Structures are given as C-alpha cells and as structure tokens.
Structure 1
Amino acid sequence: MKQSLLDLLKSVDTPTVCNAIEVAQGKRGFNAFTRGTMLCSNPDAGAMVGYARTAKIAAVNPPEEPPGIIRKRRMDYYRHMATGTGPAVTVVEDVDYPHCIGAYWGEINTTVHKGFGVSGALTNGVMRDLGDLPDGFPVVAGSVGSSHGFVHVKEIGTSVNIFGLTIQDGDLVHADRHGALVIPPEVVDVLEQAINKLLETEKLILAPAREPGFDFEAFEAAWAAFEASRT
C-alpha cells in the first residue's frame, strides 16, 4: 500500500471509505461492512487501518484441552500478531457471541499489541479498562465488561466473522466508531483517487448548505451540480 493512501485512509472515517469504494467500483451495492452498533474505546481517535491478523477466542467455559496446548497456542497467537505484513489490525472473533463475557481487550493486552506495532483491535467481544487503554490503539468491540472469564485462544489465522462481516487473515481493514469494512483488493490502486473525488464532490452540496441564507433555490442549484459531478 502506498504511504499516501495509508495516510489518507487514516484521515477519513469509515463511512467515507464505504462511499469511496462505490465510487471506485462505479456502482452501489458494496456490502463488506459490519452490521449493527459497535462500541469504540475512544470515539475521538482516528481510524485504524491495516491488514487483518485474525484469531478466535472463547471465555464462558474453561478450556478443555491440556494446559500445555493452551499455553503454546497463546504464544503462537502473539507471534502471529507480532509478525507479518504491516500495517496491521488485530481482528478477534469471540465464539461465545452473543453471550460474550471475557474482556480480552484490557490495559495489558492493548499495550502489548500496540508495542507490536498493531494499529488497533476489532472484535465482536468485550473490552474493559476504559480510560487506561494506551493512546493510539483504538478498540472497536461488541460490548464493555469487567471480567476476563476463562478467556483463551481457540484458532489463529482463520476466517472470522465480526457483526456480519467475514474477514480473512490478510484482508485490508478500515474501522472506527462506525464499525468496520474490508477494502476489496481490486480497488486499492484507485481508492486514493476515489476518496479525493468523493470529498470534492461533497463540497458542492456541503459548502452552500453551510452558507447564510441557504434556501430551497440554493439547494436545488447545488444539488444539480452535485448530481452532475457524480455521473
């Protein structure tokens, strides 16, 4: 990914990227995004952008496998999160959903992942320690809770599902307080141009609407220009 595209993606919100993907594709109907309302550890933080490093966890029940296997998988998990193509976003599916109780994302785990250079975490599970999480590492989660339960890693690098969005290990993810999406590989080369075009097009309606004396006639003229620019 070009640095200019990465910088641009970090500067815009996920709805903007969602719309820009449709601009790049030349049609409506893009649907690789989360459904429902997610929670963000820091709503004022910028977007997290990166290639997904996926895993699955569980926490309601104790693990049934031998402790040695659980410990090894835990270390394999952290090795996976610490290596690979960057930038990276950690994407963890809690298989207990919708009855998640184990807060995998607290002060210690977020700090460790930030230290690995990961740009944030996306999960359908639980986060905690709000107010103590490190700056620059947003968590977009399904809920907030107090306990870690019996949290343990079940799978590493497999396909996961977060609020209706299927994410493969290595997918390019954009996420913020609105939720998350997967950027299709075929639009990456033109996405920067599409975002800039979208932002310029929106100014045709937003600028007049913010002017004093804006009325229906001004709206009608602005909307005509706005629609013409999209065809």
Structure 2
Amino acid sequence: MTACPTADEIASLAGIDTPTICNLLEMVMPVRRGFGFTVQHLHCLYPHMKPIVGFARTATMRAKDPAGWTPDEARSRRNRYLDYVASGDVPKICVVQDVDERSGYGALFGEVNSTVHKALGCLGLVTDGSVRDIDQLAPDFQVLAGLVAPSHAFVHVAQWACEVNIEGMVVQDGDLIHADRHGAVVVPLTAVRGVLDSLDLMVRREAVILDAARRPGATVEDIKDAWKQSDQINE
C-alpha cells in the first residue's frame, strides 16, 4: 500500500502552481502527460488564493428534476453522504460531477454547503456544475466551477465515493488533487516524492532558456543554443 503523503509534503505541493505540477508529473511519470487533468475552463472564484491540495471526496449530483425521495429517505441519504465527507484523510477537496443532461441547472454549493463542507475538512470544490452565493461562500473555501447560477433547483447528491469525470479529469475516491486558477490535476500518491524532488531540476532547465530569451539583443540562435543546453541538464 502506498504511503500517504506527509503534512510537509502536502504543504510543499501547495507551494507550487498547478501547471508546474503537471510539468513535474511529466518528468516523473511520462505517461501522465496526456491525461489526469482538466481540459476545459473552470471558473476559479478566488484566483489569487494559493493552490489547494487534498484528498478527493467524490460525488455526482442532479438538479433538473426532483429526486422522488420521501423526506425520511432524503434525510437518510444526506446523513450518509455527510458521514462520507467527514471520513478519510485530511485535507480534503470536494470533487462533484453534475450528471444532468444540462449541467449547472441548479447549484449544489452555495453559502450553506461551502460552510458545512469546510467544517468537515474540505479546502474547496472542483465541479463541472454550478455554484451560487458568491458573496456568502465560506471564507478561504476555494471554488472551481463550470458555471455560476442563481438557483439550487431540485438539487440532490445522486452518488458518492464514486468515480467522477470533471472536464476530462477522471477522479477516484481518495485521489490526491492539486488545483488552482488554472484547473486541477490528479497527483498519484506514488509520484508525490518524485514531483517534489524534481522541482529544482525543472527550474534549472527552464532558467537557461528564460535567461537567454530575456537577454537584450537575444537572437534565435542564442535561444536554440540555450534550448540545447537545457536538454543536456539531467541532474
């Protein structure tokens, strides 16, 4: 069984932006270059917040039509869902797929659910659905959402602890998620240490190219040469 990242490792990941995490994953696990991240724009409500890193609490939702449950059934399902969110390792990130034919018809998250999920250890939300109550969302609760909408309509959680797909990013319950204003990516637990250890190498490789390109009077040949030098930095 893969060891859970330490608090220090999670904090270190949160100090790196999501595009850089994607680059580092390419170095550590080349196969991840083509998948594992969102591929469509999501609205980031707090673009200046630092990245969030946490373990996925996954769910699907619907809002277009009533669920058809009795009040007791609805209450029981809500309680079981909340028990699920409260379980597991911290920190957590809610990852919710809207499975209605028209996603975003009603918002699951607003003032109440952001506050509740924050209390249960969640740092934020990644969803292809909608969000509302922008001015009343829980403080420091990051949101990446497909839409902003005014109503919750007939919103209900359909399933939880399930596989979800958020704009191309397939997420399993408990996956480690890294997200910021650029989008989100799944970080395999086996790659965490390698990602952090590879940061210095990546920075040094890019610095050669950036320094050459920023030098006054830089020519195309200077940049070609710098790129060649960068490719030769392997340790």
TM-score > 0.5, shorter chain as reference: yes
Distance 1:176 1:141 in 2: 12
Q: What is the CA–CA distance in structure 2 between the aligned matches of 1:97 and 1:125, rounded to whole Å?
A: 11
Identify the residue that residue 64 of structure 2 maps to in structure 1: 60
Q: Deviations over 1:149-169 (max 9, x none)?
A: 111111121111111222110
Q: 1:147 maps to which residue?
A: 151
> Relative to 1, partners in 2 of residues 1:127 and 1:228: Cα closer, same or farther, differing over 3 Å?
same
Pair 1:223–1:114, CA change in 2 (3 A): same
User: SS of the residue aligned with 1:101?
Assistant: coil
Mark the CA change 1:45 to 1:33 in structure 2 (over 3 Å): closer, same or farther: same
Question: Equivalent of 2:200, from 196, 199, 211?
Answer: 196
Structure 2 length normalisation: TM-score? Answer: 0.89
C-alpha RMSD of the superposition: 2.0
Ranges in structure 1 where 5+ consecutive residues have no aligned partner:
none
The residue type equivalent to 1:94 in the other structure is D
* Offset of residue 138 of structure 1: 0.7
Is 1:46 aligned to residue 67 of structure 2?
no
Q: Deviations over 1:61-91 (max 9, x none)?
A: 0111222111111122122222211121111
In the aligned structure 2, how far is the partner of 1:127 from the partner of 1:70?
21
In the alignment, the residues of structure 1 paired with residue 228 and residue 92 of structure 2 have an alpha-carbon distance, to the nearest angstrom, of 41
Percent identical pairs in the alignment equals 39
Pair 43,132 (structure 1): closer, same or farther in 2 beyond 3 Å: same
- For 2:212, the equivalent position in structure 1 comes to 208
Output the TM-score relative to the length of structure 1: 0.91
Provide the residue aligned with 1:100 in structure 2: 104
Given the superposition, is the C-alpha separation of residues 28 and 93 from structure 1 closer, same or farther in structure 2, using an over 3 Å criterion? closer
> Cα 1:91–1:28, aligned 2, differ >3 Å: closer, same or farther?
closer
* Partner Cα distance (2:93, 2:72) in 1: 28
**Shift of residue 199, structure 1, vs aligned partner:** 2.4
2:170 is matched with which residue?
A: 166
